[in-house]
Amino acid sequence: MIANETRTNLLDLDLADCEALVVDLGFKAFHGRNLFKWIHKHGVTDYDAMTDVPKRLREALRGTVDIYLPRIIADHPSEDGTTKWVMELADGQRIETVFIPEGKRSTICVSSQVGCALECAFCATARQGFNRNLSVAEIVGQVWHAARQLGTAPTNVVMMGMGEPLANFEAAVKAMDIMQDDLAYMLAKQRVTLSTSGIVPNIYRLREVSDVSLAVSLHAPNDELRDQLVPINRKYPLSELIPACKAYIANDKRRKVTWEYVMLDGVNDSIAHAKQLIRLLEGVPSKLNLIPFNPFAGNDFGTSTPERIEAFRVRLTRAGIFAMTRKTRGDEISAACGQLVGRVEDRTRRLGRIRVEDGRMEIPR
């Protein structure tokens, strides 16, 4: 099916939207629930196969709305079981989604944008620049495909693929709501994780509308270094980021902020950096993921040695911070953290630098 931009894509609708749609078409709301369930829980996109949806409603839907999904155009399996799917969108842009198996767990790493505008120094996606935000349908469509490929919904979804989810706030939140719906993918709040580089106003906004787990791409224990590695820090420094993260989990003593920390040889991996990190995170319930840097073409960073990473981890652990070294998965298929790339028509370089104002992304015209 060719996407029709003038028609509603049912993958963009949450449960309440589906109910409202069928009511507007002259049918009972419960038919909207059935429609929503067929699409997400059962993975059915053929109206004629939706046996408990009245025939007249199916005809009305066929004449007014579409069901359109990203299209898997490449499937790259890794020896460790990790799989990368390359998906093509209706406009020809491409994104990447990663499946990571771990025993009975199955994690899907989902993209939220075509490319990324935040220019983190160690990330391949950032080197491509940015084209546009993904729609709700394009975000949820990645989980839909994963569920079909696996034969069941994944146990975990992490918004850690291409892009900055909090720069695509409304679509990311709505997509995560659909993931958690009992008539869709039934993911518990602790099984959906949003990862951000630190758009502080939208961390506070997220706290008001969602209870998903929060991960933060930290990567440095001080502003001077983080300004270089994660440039959004120049706008939202650590003195603003740390309180926002602490506030996000303030109402639940069982929750922790997950901090992502890429280990870069000779850059951020010394014991002195570990001591700064301990002071920075004092009083914040935390889990720290130490991520060996995953190299990519055109990047000059090196990966910290296993011995240096372990010394760093031990120093944090002795200070009472729960720290673990993340196992590298899928690096031989460029599916590891920081390696995702797609087909991106780079609007950042063509139109000038992207601005993030009050947590909203703006492209200079």
Q: Which residues are catalytic?
A: 96, 337
Q: State yes or no: 123 annotated in a binding site.
A: yes
Q: State yes or no: 217 annotated in a binding site.
A: yes
Q: State yes or no: 18 annotated in a binding site.
A: no
Cross-strand partners of 290: 261, 325
| Placement of tokens 């790259």 in the chain | 76
Burial class (CB in 10 A: 0-12, 13-18, 19+), 101: middle
* Beta strand 113-115 pairing with 322-325: unpaired
Q: State yes or no: 210 annotated in a binding site.
A: no
Q: State yes or no: 32 annotated in a binding site.
A: no
Q: State yes or no: 35 annotated in a binding site.
A: no
* Beta strand 156-159 pairing with 192-196: parallel
* Beta strand 105-109 pairing with 156-159: parallel
Contact 313, 289 (CB under 8 A): no
Rg (CA), the chain: 21
Q: State yes or no: 195 annotated in a binding site.
A: yes
289 token code pair: 């993921």
For 33, phi then psi, to 5°, come to -65, -40
Q: State yes or no: 218 annotated in a binding site.
A: yes
Query: How many Cα atoms occupy the beta-carbon half-sphere of 117 within 13 Å?
Result: 26
Contact 128, 116 (CB under 8 A): yes
> Which pairs from 253-258 meet CB under 8 Å and 24+ separation?
253/285, 255/213, 255/285, 256/285, 256/286, 256/287, 256/322, 257/214, 257/215, 257/216, 257/284, 257/285, 257/286, 257/287, 258/193, 258/213, 258/214, 258/215, 258/216, 258/286, 258/287, 258/288, 258/289
Residue 240 and residue 231: Cα distance in Å, rounded?
Answer: 14
Positions at the binding site: 116, 120, 123, 163-164, 195, 217-219, 294
Binding-site residue set for S-adenosyl-L-methionine: 163-164, 195, 217-219, 294
Which residue numbers belong to the known binding site for [4Fe-4S] cluster?
A: 116, 120, 123
